[in-house]
Amino acid sequence: MDAYGHINNANQIRLMEEARVAGFGVPGGTGSPVGREGKNDLFENVGEGIMILVVEHTIRYLAQLPYRDVPAAVDIWISDIKPATFTVNYEIRDGHDGTLCSRAKTLMALAEGETGRLMRIPAEIREAMQAFTDESRDNE
């Protein structure tokens, strides 16, 4: 929360990161799994030693996200799956009244852990990502 009583831009990026981990899992070999029953493990299965890196964030603020006694709601989905990058999309809503407060995108890429060099997304991972797409929302 900031002086205006709302969740500021830096904390909205933190919400985006938390939503990615909760929605897609922790990249393999980087930490403990989220540990909830029925969780998705897409990012946990990219392969040992492969990093999933943020290339770019884009956020459009539509309304203030007030600090509340209920958590914000974040819808996420994947789009624009390309040979070396993909996009994670977010809609962040006020957990109290459902107001759409921001729309955001994160361009992501895979990199080799030892060298840090970007790499092509393996076909089986691109295929697994398809389960998390939402074509009805891709052009928002």
Domains and their CATH numbers in the chain: 9-132 (3.10.129.10)
Amino acid at 66: P
In one letter, which amino acid is 137? R
Distance of alpha carbon 46 from alpha carbon 120, whole angstroms: 12
pLDDT in tens, 75-85: 999 999 999 99
Of 43, 54, 120, 124, the closest CA to residue 84 belongs to 120
The pLDDT tens digits of the residues spanning 9-46 come to 889 999 999 999 888 887 765 655 555 555 677 887 78
Question: In terms of Cα–Cα distance, which of 118, 109, 113, 108 is closest to 49?
Answer: 113
DSSP 8-state symbol, 20 = H
Q: For the whole prediction, is pTM greater than 0.75?
A: yes
